[in-house]
């Protein structure tokens, strides 16, 4: 499979990395970036992630067989409405948003040749300067068709991600959102809550005592606040349920601490150690 | 300052790193390791962390001017009782335990020339094979004197840690425990609770979706379960209070999720991002 032209709408860390990987893999003859700010054009070209960057939708979308929305999840519906008049009739549309149900519903009603994607690859770093071609390599990319999806479109989008080195898996948008609420959104909100609980209440010079363990456990809290506000707004019920399960774990821990229950405390830590060890081994 | 002989009681990751750093800095003419298992002798010598390793307390402690307990916090009181008959009368005793009040009370009543220490350096890795000389470099080492501590002993122990490249700070054992409950024990129990909440309830193949964010946020959960059981048992009230503050943060988040309150959600993430950014800048 090869596209004469692929267009990235929004070229940050993830969009830029898709651009680099698409160029490296040869899946596209030409990669174009549609950006909002004039300075982004030079940034994209300097980072070498696209062959061409422009502010003009008509120019960006002409002849593009695959268009990938790499913008924050909050505005993808409206964005599609603005892009629609400029899309080639046969253009296939996908996105890289980390929440799917709302995005998919908003976009596919405007462009039936759309199927949602979520490459599970990222960084707390943002911006095209941090893009790198192997971000997608060996990553899992979830593709989220619905009952209305065209099988050829789904197949093309899956094949595209595989050509960048990602593994793909098809799930309904709702199933995807329930799972990532636990595996991705929960770690993120927890990292943030931990920063707030420790550094937001640092009455005894706690900042000086925070070392590498704190640094790694809170790494995700440095992610973009507007981006995560939109993710939280797009998946509130599943995230709240995941937080509730986490709080149940903490309630159990507090009971064991109050009772100085050595066996229960050891089991708490032992289960965590074992489960994580099994997970790590499964990754290899 | 130079000690003719320093003895490490227990030679794992931290003890081994202290041994390497003491040898490299020239603070000790000779470093001896007192270990429990026969195989540990060869492991210590293979890792090059001590000049001599033995199972025999009398041999290990003869002529040792500084003795450092590098064993789990649960058993340090009993251990001191067993070592006492073999200690030189002038020997200075310290430890590297991550909880202080209970350890200090148990040890100093048996050996007045004791002052507690806690080098804030570690790893989820354990064992002498992972020891390295620069683990202590630029680390904060808290020294915890009490009203009964001999000023010369405190001064000697502080000078020792500084000679390994650590910065030192004196705090009461209780103040230390309150602070590390937040900065160290809370991240650890949270990492464990997260593993349990996600991988312990993985009904939809969640393990496959856990990526680098989950990996880093849960790194601490791979620490030794018996070690952390003992830390939790030694500091239950302060840890429970820290967990309660964390739960207050999560309660606030759930209210904002239920209300789909965009401003509150943005502030939640924004505060976390800002506080962590300020902390990281302060570390440089």
| Residues ≥6 apart with Cβ < 8 Å to B99 | B73, B177, B180, B231, B234, B235
Predicted pLDDT of residue A123: 65
Model pLDDT, residue A283: 82
* pLDDT reading at A262 higher than 80: yes
Among all residues of chain A, which has the CA nearest to that of B273? A222
Same domain for A74 and A179?
A: no
Structural domain of residue A152, as residue ranges?
6-171
Give residue-wise pLDDT tens across range A72-108.
Answer: 888 999 999 999 999 999 999 999 999 999 999 999 9
User: Of the candidates A123, A193, A248, which has its C-beta nearest B249's C-beta?
Assistant: A193
Angle at B201 between CA A256 and CA A271, to 5 degrees: 45
CATH of the domain at B233: 1.10.3660.10
Partner residue opposite A270 with nearest CB, options B175, B186, B225: B225
Domain boundary among B154, B171, B188: B171
How much of chain B exceeds pLDDT 70, in percent? 99
Q: A161 and A34: one domain? A: yes
A164 and A28 in a single domain? The answer is yes
With an 8 Å Cβ cutoff, are B269 and A208 in contact?
no
Judged by CB atoms within 8 Å, which residues 254-273 of A form the interface with B?
254, 256-258, 260, 262, 265-266, 268-273
**Alpha helix ranges (H) inside B26-75:** 38-47, 57-61
Residues in contact with B225: Cβ distance below 8 Å, sequence separation at least 6, in sequence order: A266, A269, A270, A272, A273
pLDDT digits (tens, 9 = 90+) for B87-123: 999 999 999 999 999 999 999 999 999 999 999 987 6
Q: Is the pLDDT of residue A122 over 80?
A: no
Supply A58's token pair.
């008509």
Cross-chain CB nearest to B190 (options A217, A242, A271)? A217
Q: What percent of chain A has pLDDT over 90?
A: 90
Cβ under 8 Å to B: A residues 98-157:
120-123, 139-140, 142
For range B9-26, the mean pLDDT: 95
- Which residues of A fall within a CB distance of 8 Å from B72? none
Sheet holding A167-170, edge to edge: A116-119, A140-144, A167-170
A153 and A24 in a single domain? The answer is yes
Give residues 46 to 65 of B whose Cβ lies within 8 Å of A: none
Q: H helices of chain B, where?
A: 13-25, 38-47, 57-61, 76-83, 101-108, 151-163, 173-180, 186-199, 206-209, 212-217, 225-234, 236-258, 262-283
* Contacts A280 to B, Cβ<8 Å: 215, 222
By percentage, how much of chain B surpasses pLDDT 90? 90
Quote the pLDDT of residue B74: 86
Kindly state the average pLDDT of the residues A119-145.
88
Predicted confidence band at A125 (pLDDT cuts at 50, 70, 90)?
Answer: confident
Query: Which chain A positions have a beta carbon within 8 Å of B167's beta carbon?
Result: none
* The predicted structure's pLDDT at residue B123: 65
Residue of A115, A152, A146, A116 whose CA lies nearest to A1: A152
Task: Looking at the structure, tell me whether residues A231 and A182 fall in a common domain.
Answer: yes
Q: For residue B23, which of B9, B8, B37 has the smallest C-alpha distance?
A: B8
Residue in B with minimal Cα distance to A228: B269
Contact B218 A276 (CB under 8 A): yes
Place of tokens 């500091």: B235
Out of A205, A216, A245, the one facing B219 most closely (by C-beta) is A216
* A1 is a domain residue: no
* Domain edge (last residue) among B171, B190, B215: B171
Nearest to A220 by CA among A99, A135, A123: A123
User: Which of B148, B171, B194 delimits the end of a domain?
Assistant: B171
- To the nearest whole percent, how much of chain A has pLDDT over 70? 99
Question: Does residue B244 form part of some domain?
Answer: yes
Using a CB–CB cutoff of 8 Å, tell me whether A190 touches chain B.
Answer: yes
Q: Is A255 helix (H, G, I), strand (E, B) or coil?
A: helix
The pLDDT tens digits for B145-159 are: 999 999 999 999 999
Look at the block and give the residue holding tokens 């009370």. Answer: B105
Nearest CA among A193, A198, A210, A191 for reference residue B241: A198
How many domains does the structure of chain B reveal? 2
Strands A116-119, B52-54: pairing is unpaired
Measured in Å, how far apart are chain A's first and last C-alpha atoms? 29
- The two counts, helices (H) then strands (E), for chain A are 13, 8
CA B95 – CA B104 distance, rounded (Å): 9
Q: What is the mean pLDDT of residues A279-284?
A: 88
Q: How would residue A205 be classed by pLDDT, with cut points 50, 70 and 90? A: confident
Phi, psi for residue B159 in degrees, rounded to 5: -65, -40
Shared-domain flag, residues A130 and A12: yes
Q: Say whether pLDDT at A269 is over 80.
A: yes
- B254/A270 touch (CB, cutoff 8 Å), yes or no: no
B250 touches chain A (CB under 8 A): yes
- Euclidean distance between the first and the last CA atom of chain B, given in angstroms as a whole number: 29
Question: Which chain B residues contact residue A248 at CB under 8 A?
Answer: 197
- A193 vs B250: CB contact, 8 Å cut-off? yes
Q: Do A247 and B247 touch (CB under 8 A)?
A: yes
Residue A144 confidence (pLDDT) above 90: yes
- Asked whether the predicted pLDDT for residue A272 surpasses 90, the reply is yes
A6-9: strand order across its sheet: A52-54, A31-34, A6-9, A66-69, A92-95
Residue B157's CB: how many other CB atoms inside 10 A?
27
Is B244 in Cβ contact with A279 (below 8 Å)? no
- pLDDT exceeds 90 at position A141: yes
* A159 is a domain residue: yes
Label residue A124 by pLDDT band (50, 70, 90): low
Residue B69 backbone phi and psi in degrees, to 5? -80, 115
Crossing angle of the two packed helices B236-258 and B186-199, in degrees rounded to 10: 50
| HSE-up of residue B31 (Cα within 13 Å, Cβ side) | 25
* Residues B252 and B192 reside in one and the same domain: yes
- Let me know whether A122 and A187 are in one domain: no
Distance, in Å, from the CA atom of B14 to the CA atom of B36, rounded to the nearest integer, reads 16
pLDDT digits (tens, 9 = 90+) for B21-67: 999 999 999 999 999 999 999 999 999 999 999 999 999 999 999 99
Query: Would the pLDDT of B161 be above 80?
Result: yes
Query: B78 vs chain A: nearest CA distance in angstroms?
Result: 18
Q: Mean pLDDT score of chain A, rounded to an integer?
A: 95
Among the partner residues A140, A243, A282, nearest to B250 by beta-carbon distance: A243
C-alpha span between A192 and B273 (Å, rounded): 7
What token pair was written down for B228? 């952390």
Is B124's pLDDT higher than 70? no
Residue B1 within a domain: no
A209 contacts on B by Cβ (under 8 Å) = 120, 140, 142, 179-180, 183-184
Q: What is the number of other CB atoms lying within 10 angstroms of the CB of residue A188?
A: 24
Contact A232 B180 (CB under 8 A): no
Determine, for residues B207 and A279 on separate chains, whether the beta-carbon distance falls below 8 Å: yes
Residue B69 maps to which CATH number?
A: 3.40.50.720
Best A125, A215, A247, A250 residue to mutate vs chain B (most B CBs within 10 Å) = A250
Rounded to the nearest 5°, which phi and psi values hold at B23?
A: -65, -45
Whether B74 and B127 share a structural domain = yes
What is the token pair recorded at B14?
């931290």
Looking at residue B2, its pLDDT comes to 84
Mean pLDDT of chain B: 95
**Same domain (yes/no): A62, A167:** yes
- How far from the centroid of its chain's Cα atoms is residue A234's Cα? 13
A171-202 per-position pLDDT tens digit: 999 999 999 999 999 999 999 999 999 999 98
Under 8 Å between Cβ of B265 and A232: yes
For B66, the token pair is 């500084």
The residue in chain B having the minimum alpha-carbon distance to the alpha carbon of residue A261 is B233
Asked whether residue A23 falls in the same domain as residue A149, the answer is yes
The answer to whether the Cβ–Cβ distance between B194 and A257 falls below 8 Å is no
Inform me whether the pLDDT recorded for A1 exceeds 70: no
Residue B259 resides in a domain: yes
Top pLDDT among A262 and A212 is at A262
Model confidence, pTM? 0.88
Q: Are the CB atoms for A118 and A97 separated by under 8 Å?
A: yes
Residue A174 has a pLDDT of: 97
What is the β-pairing status of strands B31-34 and B52-54? parallel
Mean pLDDT, range B173-177, rounded to an integer: 97
């Amino acid at each position: 499979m090869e596209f004469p032209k692929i267009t990235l709408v929004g070229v940050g860390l993830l969009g830029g990395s898709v651009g680099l990987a698409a160029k490296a893999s040869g899946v596209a003859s030409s990669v174009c970036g549609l950006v909002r700010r004039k300075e982004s054009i030079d940034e994209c070209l300097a980072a070498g992630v696209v062959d061409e960057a422009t502010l003009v939708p008509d120019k960006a979308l002409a002849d593009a067989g695959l268009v990938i929305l790499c913008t924050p999840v909050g505005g993808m519906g409206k964005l599609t409405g603005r892009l629609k008049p400029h899309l080639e009739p046969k253009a296939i549309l996908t996105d890289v948003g980390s929440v799917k149900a709302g995005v998919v519903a908003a976009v596919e009603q405007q462009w039936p040749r759309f199927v949602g994607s979520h490459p599970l690859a990222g960084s707390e770093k943002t911006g095209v300067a941090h893009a790198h071609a192997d971000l997608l390599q060996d990553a899992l990319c979830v593709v989220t068709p619905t009952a209305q999806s065209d099988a050829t479109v789904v197949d093309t989008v899956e094949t595209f991600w595989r050509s960048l080195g990602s593994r793909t898996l098809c799930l309904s948008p709702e199933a995807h959102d329930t799972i990532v609420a636990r595996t991705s959104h929960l770690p993120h909100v927890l990292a943030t809550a931990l920063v707030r609980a420790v550094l937001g209440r640092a009455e005894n010079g706690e900042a000086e005592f925070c070392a590498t363990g704190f640094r790694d456990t809170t790494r995700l809290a440095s992610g973009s606040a507007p981006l995560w506000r939109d993710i939280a707004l797009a998946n509130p019920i599943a995230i709240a349920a995941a937080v509730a399960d986490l709080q149940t774990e903490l309630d159990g821990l507090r009971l064991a601490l109050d009772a100085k229950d050595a066996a229960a405390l050891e089991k708490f830590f032992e289960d965590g150690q074992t489960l994580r060890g099994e997970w790590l081994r499964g990754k290899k």
